[in-house]
Structure 1
């Protein structure tokens, strides 16, 4: 097939490009390089089935494709809060442009949504039937509400224009090709520890997250895209929960050195718990994560050691 990936030079997008090329598809990678990097896809450029286009998903674009994966959007708080208006435009106008293209070409369109649509959840773990508990005017709202509107658009285009859509709700994911300045907790802890700095925990460290290794997530993406008859969003993530303190202690143990753990005030609207119910993914896709946290952290540390020249 001929497949378009918006945000294809990003952390997740580059892994997806690689996976789909390995399967024999033609891949068009579209990225404006706001948070993506040419380094992530440099090894793919010689491949005759790979095409790189520098373009902002906010602006309309044309392509003749069979599948569209819409991954374009900054996903870490420092990056999406840097220009909140740009972030929500990327989610909303990007979705409109992707869906317009899918309608014209009859391509199947895939939306990379997020567990952030659940906000600071009052239900635990979060299943796809939970509507969320989101602050519409907070500092994280540009991302949370942008992704919620994108989901609305996808299902409205499905109902009104018969566009074939898939929506994944991504829970915390980590692995090689995260940026050192990504701002998400796994990369923060690993980079701090490798540089011999103290690890920064916001709050008392009791808040929980579930961490899915990137290879597992990409497997979930591909299975969802190619499964027929899926009519609702699907959670993809690791249901094993860890506190921020447990994660920090694991990173310190794996990296070694003398880094200490320090505590700082909790940012506004930071969720206390985030954990997926993956019953639907197991049932519809036969999917569940395979890589344990300890193994995934070791692989990610090795990547950052090489990237940082340590």
Structure 2
């Protein structure tokens, strides 16, 4: 049985990756320090013989007994609310955490896949974004703690690849959504759905003309799975290229939730990208990947998940934290 370590295992995307590799017959070792993850996301895996969990911070030394075939490094805050609340930890997990896991991969002779992000493109001057674009990032802006952590992560990964001959893969993840997202993390979909469920007006930053491209989690996991087993070691975009403006998306949410909330406008946060759309031609070429779940289907599944949450989860005070999340 192949053994795989998945960091950030109790998070939204990490937990879905655990599910996929369990389904594929792997022995899965989940690791998370639970600073943003939640054990309820992986509670269903604890009774399984081919799953174990380590409550551990990867910015400190990482030890795994026995052989290890693969590592997926997904430990990192991934939303503005989180990485602005814990900026130092965000930088450390991208730098120290990645260094530790690359060292572990070298020791175990394991292939390692690093989770990067579309945020390395910053507020892009090229549209759609191709892997060959180097980005437009404010290194000292409030979002720089996340953007630069990921850019360094890519650099050190390629250094281990070239200097040590380590088998590495890098995925650049674009906006992903689905069940197990946190309502209080400040990202667009949980923010809008949480507001709709609580009967609040939907908050659009700026004039709403900025765009995003949303990929359903099952499609994202499939792309990551195929990339891990490909023979390509440079970064690959995985995301859904169907672009929509935030204002049009807010109107879609109102229609989906069958609510009559108003849309209110607030100032655009500093360095918030005005356009976000992946060019996925490389993923198509390398391993014949394209997203299959259209937005209407994925949003219905996601909304049903949020509707199932308890009132305590729905009305937790942190849910309103995104209401002006970048102040300087």
Q: TM-score, normalised by structure 2?
A: 0.93
Q: Which secondary structure does the structure 1 equivalent of 2:60 belong to? A: coil
- Where does residue 232 of structure 1 map in the other structure? 234
What is the rounded CA distance, in whole Å, between the counterparts of 1:149 and 1:300 in structure 2?
A: 32
Deviation of the 1:258 alpha carbon: 2.4
- Does the 8 Å CA contact 2:167/2:233 hold for their aligned counterparts? no
What is the rounded CA distance, in whole Å, between the counterparts of 1:93 and 1:291 in structure 2?
A: 36
- Where does residue 51 of structure 2 map in the other structure? 50
Deviation of the 1:308 alpha carbon: 3.4
What is the rounded CA distance, in whole Å, between the counterparts of 1:59 and 1:276 in structure 2?
A: 34
1:61 aligns with 2:52: no
Cα-to-partner distance string for 1:173-230 (whole Å, 9 max, x where unaligned)? 01100001011001100110011110000000000000000000000010000112x0
- Aligned CA RMSD, in angstroms, stands at 0.8
- Where does residue 262 of structure 1 map in the other structure? 264
Unaligned runs of 5+ in 2: 315-328
Q: Which secondary structure does the structure 2 equivalent of 1:307 belong to? A: coil
What is the rounded CA distance, in whole Å, between the counterparts of 1:201 and 1:46 in structure 2?
A: 43
1:19 aligns with 2:20: yes
- Where does residue 323 of structure 2 map in the other structure? none
Counterparts of residues 83-98 of structure 1 (less than 5 Å): 83-98=86-101
What is the rounded CA distance, in whole Å, between the counterparts of 2:193 and 2:11 in structure 1?
A: 19
- Where does residue 111 of structure 1 map in the other structure? 114
Q: Which secondary structure does the structure 2 equivalent of 1:93 belong to? A: helix
1:82 aligns with 2:85: yes
- Does the 8 Å CA contact 2:123/2:135 hold for their aligned counterparts? yes
What is the rounded CA distance, in whole Å, between the counterparts of 2:84 and 2:289 in structure 1?
A: 33
> Which of 175, 179, 192 matches 1:176?
179
What is the rounded CA distance, in whole Å, between the counterparts of 1:36 and 1:307 in structure 2?
A: 17
What is the rounded CA distance, in whole Å, between the counterparts of 1:33 and 1:285 in structure 2?
A: 33
Q: Which secondary structure does the structure 1 equivalent of 2:199 belong to? A: coil
Structure 1's consecutive aligned runs of 4 or more residues displaced over 2 angstroms after TM superposition are none
- Where does residue 5 of structure 1 map in the other structure? 6
Counterparts of residues 212-227 of structure 1 (less than 5 Å): 212-227=215-230
Q: Which secondary structure does the structure 1 equivalent of 2:142 belong to? A: coil
Counterparts of residues 174-213 of structure 1 (less than 5 Å): 174-213=177-216
Deviation of the 1:231 alpha carbon: 2.7
